[in-house]
Structures are given as C-alpha cells and as structure tokens.
Amino acid sequence: MTPGSGSSPSGTDRPVAITSSQKIEDVYDKFAAEVKKILPFDRIAISLLDFDSQTAVTQFDHGFPIESRRAGDRFPLAGSATAAMVAAGRGMVVPDLSLEQTETLCPGYLPFLRAGIRSTLLAPLVTEGRVLGVLVLASRTAGCYGPKETALAESVAAQIGGAISQSRLFVEHQRMADALRESEASLRSIFRVAPVGIGVVHNRVLSQVNERLCDMLGYSAEELEGRSARILYSSDEDFEFVGREKYLQIKARGTGSVETRWQRKKGEIIDVLLSSTPLDPADWSKGVTFTALDITASKQSEHERLRLEDRLRQAQKMEAIGTLAGGIAHDFNNILAAIIGFAELARIVSEGNAEARDHMTEVLRASFRARDLVRQILTFSRRTESEFAPVDVHLIVKEALKLLRATLPSTIELRHAVDNPGLVLGDPTQIHQIVMNLCANAYQAMPQGGTLEVTLAEASIDAS
C-alpha cells in the first residue's frame, strides 16, 4: 500500500459543486458526476466511520457493486484498507495484490479482488482536523492511481468532508428549529387553553394575556394588551402592594405569590391568587410572566365556614348556659314552693287582719310571678314546653307596668295607653317578659332621662 506524496499538482484546486446547506444524500449523485470529470474510476463510494463500534457504514456507492460494500452496509475496520488509511492519516493507493497477499496483509480488501478491482485509491474525509470517513475510488485497471491522483483525491475528499460537516450542522440546525417551533406551538396552545389566567408584563405593562384572563375580567385582549397593569386592580394601594411584595419575593427565591383583589370591567371585585416569575432571572427587563387564579368562591366558602363555626360556638355556649339555668331554676322552684306554702299559711292565720292579709296576697302574687319566670328559664333551657292559652293581654301589660314603675329611675316618666283589644292565644309569662324586656331596653337607652310611653292597641294585618 502506497501513501500519497501530499503534493498538489495542477488541477487539484478545481472545486466540486456541492451545496453544503442541502442534505448530503441529495447531492451525492451530482458529486459523483463532478469527480468523474477529474478522476478515473469504475466505482466510487463514501463510507463514514463509527469509532465507538470500530466499524464503517457505506453511505453512497456508484458503479458496479461490491459485496458487503453497498449503501447501508456496515463493515469492520479491522483488516480493512480503510483502517490502514486512517492509521496513515492521509490518502493512499492499494496496489494490485495477489489473493494470497491480500488474505495476509488486508483481508478486508478481498471483496474488491473478487469483484475484479485491480487498483483502489482511498482519501480521508477530514473536517477541523478530524477524520469523518473515507472516499474510495476503485478501478479494474492496474496501476490506475499514483501520487498525482492521490493528491487530487485528497483535495476532493476535503471538500466532501466539509460539505458533510456543513450538512450535519444544517440538519442539526433544522432539528433544533423544528423542536423550537414545536415547543413554541405547545406553549402557545397551553397559554391559550390553560384553565388559569396567564399574562406577560414588561415594566408592569401588559404585553400578552390569554383567553381565561380575559374571561375572568370581562375585557378583550385588545383592551388589556399595551395597558398598565393598574387596570386590573381595585385600588392604587393594592397595585403598589403587589408590585412591592412580588419584587421582594422574586428577589429572594426567584418566584413570587400573593393574594390580592382585582376589579372586573363591570366593577365587581374578585379575590385573586397571583404567582409570578421572570422570563429571564438574570434580566427582569425581558418581562415577567404571571398566573392568576380566581379564589373568590373559596374565600367566600372560608368566610362562611368561619361564620358557621362561630355560630356553632355560640350555640354550644347557649346550650351550656341553658343547662346551668335549668339547674338553677329547679333549685329556685324548690325555694319558691316553701315561700308560697308559708305565705298561704300566713294568709290563713291572718284572717282577721286585713292589712296583713293584703301583704300576704302581694307576697303570693310576686311568688307566682317568680314561679312563672322560673318556667321561662326552664323553657329557655329546653326542659319544659310553653303553655299557650287564651290571654287577656291588657291585664298582663298593666301588671307588668305596675312592677316596672317601681324599678324605673326617677328621671324617666312612664306613660301608657292600654286598650282592651280582647283575647289572644299565647303564654302569659312570655308576654309579661316581653313587655319587661322592651321597657328595660328602652330606659337603658335613656341615660339622661325622658319619657317612656307604652301603647297597646288592636291592629289589622293584611294577609296579602
């Protein structure tokens, strides 16, 4: 095997017309036709090296076929002329060897001999000092290639290597461009159909908004894009607070999240959870993207939950008070029973003393009223039921006012206009307590004194 001299005889600089921006597979035939004009061959092939597997793959062949060297065939480097060329680092000519010599020196060359090849020229496809593959020219004529042809083949192979490298870069560029387009399309699709509001701001000016954000606020995209983000907020205070708070959060951990209030186009206020992150953490001027989630319903649910919890606590307190009041009322009932009993006995023994008898009558009347109040307490504690019966209301009101007069401050004048509207169905004790409570609330609202007037009259209510 004879390496080339590396000289560049006249004609070696003639360019081969290969467009590197095209896929290399599309220009192989054109390349073969151009090479045919400057170098003789019966067969031409290009193989690319795979050093990881120590093999080569035939990418292109033109001319008569050679076994295991057709396009797409993979063959081992070991024992091949290609391996010898790579080791030499330059173009080389395979001389006309006998079968025995080939089996000993280069067994990988046997398919060429069987195909009638008498001389072969190999030139490395080099780019940036790295061998990509091999250009193989084969002829059935012995002694077809020498130093001149080797130098010319090296020049051509260098052009082919550059074209292959450029083609690979072009393919990789196309792959990355396609991936970028797919990624952008996916992001646009996500941006468009996301179930949360999404937008982009530059210096707090809205540059992009999605459909969900528009639906949330009642604006069109044209009404929002290009406007200050202040249009979203219900007040200057909220606008400034969000800007300040998110700045601090993003500066500290790269993202910011804050609850705020936005104002819809028609004026309604909504609660929003706002999350933001810069498009480029190193340069915030490129913009900040944000997501907005309407949490109005959940906030209202939270308020309702707190309100119900408060009502439950109040109910539990009232239940405890009722239990305590019921126990006290029962004990007080026992005391009243003794008072009423002794008052009735005293009234009997004072038969001849009218004044004492009147006093005992008042004691009994007050005791009976106290017994009725105990019944009210028991009603409150749910230990007894109210007893409804026909009641002469004006008598109960007059009796309540008589008791009330003695408890009013001297600065309050009590006036009353009590008619006799007839009978009503009710609980006498509860009616009495209603009058007392109303009057007590009234005079407590008059710390400077005044006139407290009570009126009882019949009223007609229209059922419609």
319 and 449 inside one domain: no
Beta strand 197-202 with 130-139: parallel, antiparallel or unpaired?
A: unpaired
Average pLDDT score over residue span 90-115: 82
The Cα angle at residue 333 between residues 330 and 337, in degrees rounded to 5: 150
What are 167-181's pLDDT values in tens digits?
777 778 888 888 888
Residue that terminates a domain, selected from 383, 417, 435? 383
Average pLDDT score over residue span 377-395: 70
- Using pLDDT thresholds of 50, 70 and 90, give the confidence band for residue 123: very high
Beta strand 74-76 with 92-94: parallel, antiparallel or unpaired?
A: unpaired
277 and 161 inside one domain: no
| pTM summary value | 0.44
Look up residue 175 and give its two tokens.
Answer: 């792959």
pLDDT at 262: 93
Average pLDDT score over residue span 184-198: 73
Please say if the pLDDT value at position 420 is more than 70: yes
At 122 the three-state DSSP class reads: strand
Instruction: Return the half-sphere exposure (C-beta side, CA atoms, 13 A cut-off) of residue 152.
Output: 21
pLDDT at 222: 93
Q: Identify the domain containing residue 228 by its residue range.
A: 194-294
Please say if the pLDDT value at position 78 is more than 70: yes
Question: Looking at per-residue confidence, does 383 or 457 come out higher?
Answer: 457
Number of domains observed in the structure of the chain: 4
Neighbouring-strand partners of residue 426:
389
254 and 284 inside one domain: yes
- Using pLDDT thresholds of 50, 70 and 90, give the confidence band for residue 151: very high
Lowest mean per-residue pLDDT among 12-16, 151-155, 271-275: 12-16
Residue that terminates a domain, selected from 294, 315, 331? 294
- Asked if residue 183 belongs to a domain, the reply is no
276 and 213 inside one domain: yes
Please say if the pLDDT value at position 12 is more than 50: no
Question: Looking at per-residue confidence, does 67 or 321 come out higher?
Answer: 67
228 and 322 inside one domain: no
Q: What is the mean pLDDT of the chain?
A: 82
pLDDT at 1: 52
Enumerate long-range contacts of 399-406, CB under 8 Å, 24 or more apart. 399/432, 400/432, 400/435, 400/436, 400/439, 401/435, 401/439, 401/454, 403/369, 403/436, 404/435, 404/436, 404/439, 404/440
At 264 the three-state DSSP class reads: coil
pLDDT at 189: 67
